Homo-oligomer: A and B are copies of this chain.
Amino acid sequence: MNLKIAVLPGDGIGPEVILQAKKALYAIGEVYNHEFVFEEALMGAIAIDKTGNPLPEQTLNLCLNTDAVLFGAIGDPKYDNNPNAKVRPEQGLLKLRKELGLFANIRPIKPYKSLLDASPLKREIIEGADFTIFRELTGGAYFGAKTLNEEGTHASDLCEYSEEEITRITHLAFKSAQNRRKKLTMVDKANVLETSRLWRKVVQKVSVNYPDVALDFLFVDNAAMQIILNPKQFDVILTENLFGDILSDEASVITGSIGLLASASLGEKNALFEPIHGSYPQAKGKNIANPIASILSAAMLLEHFGLFKEANVIHQAVEKAIEFKVVTTDLKSDSKFGTNEVGEFVSNFI
């Protein structure tokens, strides 16, 4: 297979971890005779520094015209604590999600056997947990109108959803549940929010097409608690953009480290793959960031193109690295291995 892949390393630890994902893909390409052509482009704080624009035209065009996008991380503290900054790195990622129409962000959560003791949760709570979060990615308060009055004393964010936006991701989530344990949990705040009530109505409507899937509803406050109390109860979780952002970071504790979690963002035509962790600026350049989330994002990319055998080899390599404790310090505090060593282990295993 020939694939043209846009690579956006982004900010902080992004470039380091993406490098390891590329190495894994190169290795797969060699062994299984695929041609992966990578083209790098700027996005985020680094793009602002170099061009003034967090998503330069050139980057967007590249992403629109490739088979897939592999993205690292975004964000820089110099913008976070400056409420008056006019241009922000995150705008680049949000615009990219919108322009590529990446409405479904898929985040699988499943602890590795050999890491069952690495979680802050007790082993018996997480052993056997295996669920996937479907997070809507191009709507909600992320994209609604924002206001700040002239005096800078009043601000607002609008959370908006349409039936159409809800319908399309709901179908994907139900289909995924059909291929799994046939349970879908919709998370919302329908006792307070009008958008949540629309979600509930639309999901109920779509559900008639999937009579084999059991549907239930949880309020987001309760869901935030249930994910920790009893993560095994979940199969597929479906939720809106901001709730999905919060719950998926929270759920990462089940696996022992957010540095293990990959995600796929899918649209009608385009697809982007990224670790769910952030740019972790304190770790930048120190060879301590965990590259596994990025490497597994590359595996999700392969799966997206039907290369299941290849994706599986990456999974095996990662499992071996974890089993042999070739891991970064987030997983073993006295580890001697860094970003590069873990990446080398994985690509050499392939």
Task: List chain A positions with a Cβ less than 8 A from chain B.
Answer: 75, 79-81, 83-84, 88-90, 94, 120-122, 125, 141-142, 144, 146-148, 152-164, 189-195, 197-198, 200-201, 204, 217, 219-222, 224-225, 228-230, 242-243, 245-250, 252-253, 258, 278
21 contacts between A and B (CB under 8 A): A80-B190, A81-B200, A83-B197, A88-B191, A120-B121, A120-B228, A120-B229, A142-B192, A154-B162, A154-B163, A155-B194, A155-B195, A156-B159, A156-B195, A157-B158, A189-B242, A220-B245, A225-B250, A225-B253, A228-B253, A246-B246
Minimum CB–CB distance from A232 to chain B (whole Å) comes to 11
Minimum CB–CB distance from A263 to chain B (whole Å) comes to 13
State the number of copies, please. Answer: 2
Q: How far is the CA of A253 from the CA of B142 in the complex (A)?
A: 29
Minimum CB–CB distance from A256 to chain B (whole Å) comes to 10
B250 x A228 contact (CB < 8 A): yes
Most buried by B among A75, A89, A147, A159: A159
Which residue of chain B is the closest to A216 with respect to CB atoms? B81
B155 x A158 contact (CB < 8 A): no
Q: How far is the CA of A146 from the CA of B89 in the complex (A)?
A: 30
**Which residues of the partner chain B approach A94 to less than 8 Å between Cβ atoms?**
192
* 10 new A-B contacts at CB < 8 Å, known A94-B192, A120-B230, A156-B194: A80-B191, A83-B197, A90-B192, A155-B160, A155-B194, A221-B245, A221-B248, A222-B249, A225-B250, A225-B258
A201 x B75 contact (CB < 8 A): no
